[in-house]
Amino acid sequence: MFEAGPPPDPKTNAEKCQDMLNSDTVWTALVCNEEMNQMTTAARGMGGDFYWPPTYPRGTKSFKDTLAIDPDPLGGVCADPEGIFGFPPRDQYDSWATWLDDYYGGIRILSRSNIVLSNGLLDPWSSAGVYRPNAYPSREHASSDSVEVQNITADGSIVALTLDLGGHHLDLMFSSDDDPPCAKIARGIEDNHITKWIADWKEQSITT
């Protein structure tokens, strides 16, 4: 007697893909396909977060870097044996996946302008935030009623704010009476910068 195998799956690839999107959200597909910088959240304990021991050596910056050490660092996250999401084989990386960084510059932003970046220290993702080189913020010197402002570019056209009691995107949420003072201060700084950008653009438009 032969053991019968599982019946064929009647679902189409499109239906399977939709099921995966419903369960994992589109974020997984974007991260796994585009090799977004957030992919390196698999690399932990390297000095920018509370994880220990480190999972990868310092200097790990991309998914390609992790593959050189671990051929399947995110197999549980990006596993797609049927190729529905279009992930490359797990021992490779997608050579087209870095186009976002190539086109927009990634973290090489010193030639850009008019950007306000914010980092909330209660946000576990803040370790991947933008700061001046070797100028990570310290909670010991932070205060909930103040915001640290770092000039990322010499002319101050790109700045990074640090909110001691800031969570993920707190300053971009609707205001609330429960907001810590640092969130209100950060919104004021952001508003001032945006107002200045608009005024500068209007002045340039008139003169040209």
Q: What is the average pLDDT score of the chain?
A: 76
Give the whole-angstrom CA distance, residue 131 versus residue 70: 28
Cα–Cα–Cα angle for 36, 117, 125, nearest 5°?
Answer: 50
Encoded tokens for 20? 């995966």
What is the distance, to the nearest Å, from the Cα of residue 31 to the centroid of all Cα atoms in its chain?
10
155-208 pLDDT, tens per residue? 999 999 999 899 888 999 999 999 999 999 999 999 999 999 999 999 988 887
- Rounded to two decimals, the pTM is 0.64
24 touches 32 (CB < 8 A): no
Residue 58's contacts (CB-CB under 8 Å, 6 or more residues apart) are 46, 47
Give the whole-angstrom CA distance, residue 123 versus residue 169: 8
pLDDT value of position 122: 87
Q: Which has more pLDDT, 50 or 131?
A: 131
State yes or no: pLDDT of 118 exceeds 90. Answer: yes
Q: Which of 66-80, 114-128, 134-148, 161-175 has the highest mean pLDDT?
A: 161-175
pLDDT value of position 149: 92
State yes or no: pLDDT of 143 exceeds 80. Answer: no
Mean pLDDT throughout 117-142? 76
pLDDT value of position 47: 59
pLDDT value of position 27: 72
Q: Which has more pLDDT, 20 or 118?
A: 118
Mean pLDDT throughout 56-85? 66
Q: Which has more pLDDT, 86 or 54?
A: 54
1-44 pLDDT, tens per residue? 555 666 666 777 677 767 777 776 677 667 666 665 555 566 66
pLDDT grade, residue 63 (50/70/90)?
Answer: low
State yes or no: pLDDT of 136 exceeds 60. Answer: yes
pLDDT over 90 percentage in the chain: 25
Within 10 Å of residue 97's Cβ, how many Cβ atoms?
A: 19
